[in-house]
Amino acid sequence: MTSRLIIETDQLARAFGDVVAVDGLCLQVRPGEIFGLVGPDGAGKTTTIRLLAAIMDPTGGSARVAGFDTVTEPEPIKRRIGYMAQRFNLYGDLSVWENLNFFADVFEVAGSERRERIERLLNFARLTEFRDRRAAHLSGGMQKKLALACTLIHTPEIIFLDEPTTGVDPVSRREFWGILTDLHLEGITLVISTPYMDEAERCSRVGLMYQGSLVVCDTPERVKAMTRGELIALWPSDPRRAKDILARHGEVLEVQTYGDQLRLFVRDAGSAMGWIDTALAAHGVEVLEMRPTRPRMEEAFISLIQGRMASEGS
């Protein structure tokens, strides 16, 4: 079983002084997966990715990537992985082509293979016509694509992407994910951290991080099924009052607000459809629209985090 894992961590931990960023993380990634790391800001996603990319040493536990230990054997790992940091980490004063060329040089990609590969990556990232433009003068989306192209120059087996689409417009995001899907189909393992729940849904499996460790780690379908009860979407005339009234009701497990919409987790959606109307009418709140629905990643995420926070608070 172990041989089928491409990334495996054992009680991985990293502290910065008194602050524990990653705390006893046990993570398993199979070859060819798109593995999504989700979690609130400060959950330890970036630190985890740096630990796995062997550019930071853990303060506890260990990690094996592509069969090598990140502390004792970082060099073979570096040749097998690509790492794309959250920040733009290329040379802004070099052109697109010069950046690709430089990384080809340091990875010792040489000869005709190198020329052919650079051309292919430029084409792949749709940057061919911008090859002579300085990286600093590219748009945010194009910079991300260039960064991805640079991490692919040595055809890595695993790619780590730290919030690659943060600050990118929706059209570029979609295009970027198109490229990631192509890589996935080529059999490359992708480990990606993201704050976007729609991106989490595209992953083979997601790990939900909270305060340095994994709360849940499963397929998006199963994670969504972990929420308690059934979900109802409700548009009341006065959402604030409706929320107060319903939160006190014994049948209601959890209430989440999305603008004018309330999303209620109840024990039984069928019966709830009946009594919600009357309960709100008694307080003069009108139901504009109401229907049973399936939980999205976002509800599951908030519900799991809130559950974890509540259990720590008690």
In the complex, the residues that contact other proteins under the rule CB under 8 A are 16, 50, 53-57, 75, 78-79, 81-83, 85, 87-94, 98, 102-103, 105-108, 150
Of 53 and 245, CB closest to other proteins: 53
Of 79 and 249, CB closest to other proteins: 79
| Least distance between other proteins and beta carbon 100 (Å) | 12
Of 75 and 312, CB closest to other proteins: 75
CA–CA separation, 11 vs 27, rounded Å?
9
Please give the order of strands across the beta sheet that includes 252-258.
252-258, 261-266, 230-236, 287-293
Which value, to the nearest 10 degrees, does the dihedral of the CA atoms of residues 179, 208, 159, 140 take?
50
DSSP 3-state of 144: helix
Return the sign of the alpha-carbon dihedral for residues 200, 49, 86, 142: negative
Task: Determine how β-strand 81-84 pairs with β-strand 158-162.
Answer: parallel
| Least distance between other proteins and beta carbon 148 (Å) | 12
Residue 273 host element (H or E): helix 269-281
| Least distance between other proteins and beta carbon 80 (Å) | 11
Selection from 234, 230, 272 nearest residue 250 by Cα: 272
CA distances for 5 relative to 2, 23, 67, 80, 151, angstroms:
6, 21, 8, 15, 22
Of 30 and 134, CB closest to other proteins: 134
| Least distance between other proteins and beta carbon 87 (Å) | 5
Amino acid (one-letter) located at 4: R
CB-CB contact of 41 with 87 (8 Å): no
Of 109 and 285, CB closest to other proteins: 109
CA–CA separation, 173 vs 171, rounded Å?
5
**What are 161's two structure tokens?**
């992407």
| Least distance between other proteins and beta carbon 67 (Å) | 17
Of 85 and 272, CB closest to other proteins: 85
| Least distance between other proteins and beta carbon 285 (Å) | 52
| Least distance between other proteins and beta carbon 81 (Å) | 7
**What are 277's two structure tokens?**
């109307």
Of 64 and 205, CB closest to other proteins: 64
